[in-house]
Structure 1
Amino acid sequence: MNDNIYILGLESSCDDTSAAIVRNDVLLSNVTASQKVHEAYGGVVPELASRAHQENVVPVVDQALKQAGISKEQLSAVAFTLGPGLMGSLLVGVSFAKGFARSLNIPMIDVNHLQGHVMAHFIKEQENDTSSPPYPFLCLLVSGGNSQIVKVNAYNDMEVIGQTIDDAAGEAIDKCSKVMGLGYPGGPIIDKLARQGNPNAFQFSEPNIPGFDYSFSGLKTSFLYHLRDWVKDDPDFVEHHKEDLAASIEATIVKILMKKLRLAAKETGIKHIALAGGVSANNGLRNAFKEHAEKYGWTIYIPKFSYTTDNAAMIAVTGYYKYKDGDFCKIDKPPFSKITFK
């Protein structure tokens, strides 16, 4: 008797269409179609994103099944991102998942996108992989739309103990990149330039927010005003100093993120600390994690680059844990755009 559980995961919350297959919690395939069309607009255009998802969803699912070496009839369930995200993009993935699951007469499993990012740490590439963090652990979840400190008590028990009250860290990086005329998405561009610059070249204001919460709007405004004054004196200021500007803005954001994370670790007494979300690909943030691990005795968990951005592997593995608990969703459950865990 074959007791293996095969889960198809679907992710379509923003501008990446992704499909993945897990056998139990071991990843068999993870296929993502990225959308280049948004680069010309300096940001994701929701209408274009949803159209591209419609074109991509069938091919990525087909490729995921082929790479996994299984047929659709072997699937145990379909897991999909229900939210948060862009409503038009979510509707494409949710509608496909519901139709696909109904046609195969298998259960549907809704997954919170943010929960999925945290659960990326539980993706196994080999059966004997034991690199997942033990409960409870703290997770710094940083992306274009979210900056949160999450206390993870179990896969289905996550408590947001700190979050941004305005802009997210990734959003601030993208906006600073845009102001400098460097292009979109700003994260990889700033990251690359920062490696060649001096992080102490320029000073920008840091917020004074109580507790574990974040704020990045003041930093963004400070950067904008400083840049305006510098460009007034030297029209080519950005070109002459882009490496130092990138390094300084990155260093300031990393400093803000790590200050609150240190406070959370100290007050909770938790020393298993994970990183998740798109901004976790940032080199400066990864280095800061390694430095903190040495200085404060943390055990750190940093995901592979392929699991930092939006991907279906994290949705599929979350789906596996929910499947074992019989946590399925009804066909009339609608997607949601609001940022929340439950």
Structure 2
Amino acid sequence: MSITILAIESSCDETSAAVIRDGAILSNFIANQTVHEQYGGVVPELASRAHMQNIVPVIQAALQKAALAPGSESTGEAAAHMLLQSVNAIAFTQAPGLIGSLLVGAQFAKSLALSLNVPLIAVHHMQAHVLANLIEDPKPEFPFLCLTVSGGHTQIVLCESPLSLKVIGETMDDAAGEAFDKSAKLLGLPYPGGPLIDKYARAGNPNRFKFPEPQIPGLNFSFSGLKTAILYFLQENTAANPRFVEENLADICASIQHRIVSILLNKLKAAALTTGIDQLCIAGGVSANSGLRQAFTEMGEKYKWKTFIPAFQYCTDNAAMIAMTAHYKYLAGDFVDLSASPTARAEW
């Protein structure tokens, strides 16, 4: 018997739905929210309102796309309706995230599960980022290490099985994604600034400016000191030359990116050497950064480690990773009842 799951992701400002059948992703639709650009960051109230507008058309699109999979006898809305009636479970992101955004996805998932009389599966967002590495071939073998890097989290995760994940290193203050975005803001770049730093860095010299690397013991990270160092660096140089940023933007971006990437990969290298694990992955929104992807691949080649990077569409927040996690939870019989509530913060 095939196992088909509809998954919903709504933890921040992307509304996404995906359909998975027997571990294969059939569709993955994402609706982005541009309303936040004028505010320089995600506004929680506006995000939850946008989710309410987007969730129905996104789910319809995901179902219609999945209904076009080989073996389907019809297409369009009728096929989408037939597919919905045949799903075996509904999955949703339970935590962490913006509570208003999470509530939209959770309540919609509960309503669907109740109306279809199928089980409900709650998924931890950060666990799902890790399992994004299992969506496409080649896949890592267990055990593997995953560097999970996003706007709100920076972690090194030891993965012994799809549902046995342990955080062995994490940020003590700010996340790497936040360091990218705050640095971009200091440079006067519009939101979201992290991808723009990546863009300008490609034309810059990463060794032009030197920024400090925090000496944090163990496998933990810290980025607050780096952000402060960047702030003071820009204040000092723009005081001497008001056009400093404009004249040196590419080199500044390349140097900032180089330092953030080195902080991340030095810790991941230490984790690999400590555990003896040679299967390494990256995940999360920052794993879409070209500098990180290139340096990560080069590190793997240098030390003869096997490295894995999700496709771009599975790096940022998406429902395919929720669906993949839900697939393994379904096999394990890990369901929740309708009393399950989303939460803004949650440990693994």
Q: TM-score, normalised by structure 2?
A: 0.95
Say whether 1:340 aligns with 2:340.
no
Counterpart code for 1:139: C
The C-alpha deviation readout for 1:249-297, integer Å capped at 9, x for no partner, is 0000001011111110001000000010000001111111111111111
Q: Does 1:115 align with 2:106?
A: no
What is the rounded CA distance, in whole Å, between the counterparts of 2:262 and 2:346 in structure 1?
Answer: 24
| Code of the aligned partner of 1:74 | S
Partner of 2:206: 199
State whether residues 116 and 315 of structure 1, in contact with CA within 8 Å, keep that contact through their aligned partners in structure 2.
yes
Partner of residue 218, structure 1: 225
By how many angstroms is 1:340 displaced?
Answer: 2.2
Residues of 1 paired with 2:35 and 2:347: CA distance?
A: 29
Q: Which residue of 2 aligns with 1:4?
A: 2
- Tell me the residue number matched to 1:249: 256
Say yes or no: does 1:175 pair with 2:182.
yes
In structure 2, the CA distance between the partners of 1:339 and 1:177, relative to structure 1 (3 Å rule), is farther
Distance 2:90 2:269 in 1: 38
1:101 to 113, 116, 129: 113
Residue in 2 aligned with 1:312? 319
Q: Which digits, 9 at most, give the CA deviation of each residue in 1:55-74, with x for residues without a partner?
A: 00111001111111142101
C-alpha distance in structure 2 between counterparts of 1:105 and 1:320, whole Å: 18
* 2:70 alignment counterpart: none
Letter in 1 for 2:270: L
Is 1:137 the equivalent of 2:144? yes
**Contact 1:25–1:122 (8 Å) recurs in 2:** no
Matches for 1:26-175 after TM superposition, within 5 Å: 26-69=24-67, 70=80, 71-124=83-136, 129=137, 131-175=138-182
Q: Partners in 2 of 1:286 and 1:63 — Cα distance?
A: 31
Distance 1:24 1:10 in 2: 17
> Which structure 2 residue ranges, 5 or more long, are not aligned?
68-79
Q: Is 1:19 equivalent to 2:12 in the alignment?
A: no
- Whole-angstrom distance in 2 between the partners of 1:291 and 1:272: 14
Q: How far apart, in 2, do the equivalents of 1:140 and 1:29 lie? A: 26
Secondary structure at the aligned position of 2:145 is classed as strand
Displacement of 1:339 in angstroms is 4.6
TM-aligned CA deviation for residue 110 of structure 1: 0.3
Contact 1:142 1:279 in 2 (8 A): yes
Q: State the SS of the aligned residue for 1:260.
A: helix
**RMSD of aligned residue pairs (Cα, Å):** 0.8
Consecutive aligned runs of 4 or more in structure 1 exceeding 4 Å deviation = none
Percent identical among aligned pairs is 56
Q: Secondary structure, in 3 states, of the residue corresponding to 1:21?
A: strand
* CA deviation after TM superposition for structure 1 residue 338, in Å: 1.1
Question: Unmatched 5+ residue regions in structure 1?
Answer: none
